[in-house]
């Protein structure tokens, strides 16, 4: 199963994850099959990019595998140009791919993931870690 992990956080964590992956792979005991992560720098970045309409579009494509952008627009009952714009944006984010090969040379949207896992840490009080412990303790 291919999972896309979506998080909100600092880029430093991604760097750490990357280095851990490299170290694990070089130690000949890779502890995972690889990982694909989409991280937003802030919660605002996330909600700007992943609107409910776009999430619905992603789900419809994964479920019905449309052969063209126009067919994808029909699936979600939206305007083709709006869906086209959303698909291009989702491609930039790496959530889906637009591949040639649809009918009449149409671009076919493909979601290369089976599921999406979101982990959003939204601390209500600054300086408290995810165990509820003040950072200074």
Partner 1 sequence: MAQGPHFQYTHVEASLVENVVLRPTEDTETYPSGWKYTLHLGTLTDLTLVRYDNAHEGDEGARTPHCWKRYRRHRIPRNGGVARGVLGERGRVLGRCRWRSATALLTAHRSSLRLQPPPQRKYDHALHHRR
Binding site for partner 1 (CB under 8 A): 11, 14-15, 17-19, 21-22, 25-26, 30, 32-42, 45, 49, 88-89, 91-94
Nearer to partner 1, 40 or 107 (CB): 40
Nearer to partner 1, 75 or 97 (CB): 97
Least distance in angstroms from the C-beta of 46 to partner 1 = 8
**CA–CA dist 82, 90 (Å, integer):** 12
Residue pair 90/58 in contact by the 8 Å Cβ criterion? yes
**CA–CA dist 117, 109 (Å, integer):** 20
Least distance in angstroms from the C-beta of 60 to partner 1 = 22
Nearer to partner 1, 49 or 59 (CB): 49
Least distance in angstroms from the C-beta of 93 to partner 1 = 6
> What count of Cα atoms within 13 Å lies in the side-chain half-sphere of residue 130?
5
Q: Which residues contact 84 (CB under 8 A, 6 or more apart)?
A: 69, 73
* Token digits of residue 12: 């430093």
Nearer to partner 1, 64 or 88 (CB): 88
């Amino acid at each position: 199963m291919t999972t896309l992990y979506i998080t909100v956080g600092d880029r430093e964590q991604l760097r750490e994850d990357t280095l851990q992956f490299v170290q694990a792979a070089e130690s000949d005991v890779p502890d995972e099959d690889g990982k694909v992560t989409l991280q937003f720098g802030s919660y605002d970045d996330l909600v700007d990019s992943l609107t409910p309409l776009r999430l619905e579009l992603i789900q419809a494509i994964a479920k019905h595998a449309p052969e063209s952008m126009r067919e994808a627009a029909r699936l979600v009952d939206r305007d083709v140009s709006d869906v086209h714009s959303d698909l291009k944006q989702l491609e930039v984010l790496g959530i889906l791919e637009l591949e040639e090969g649809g009918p009449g040379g149409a671009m076919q949207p493909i979601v290369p993931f089976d599921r999406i896992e979101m982990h959003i840490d939204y601390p209500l009080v600054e300086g408290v870690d995810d165990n509820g412990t003040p950072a200074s303790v």
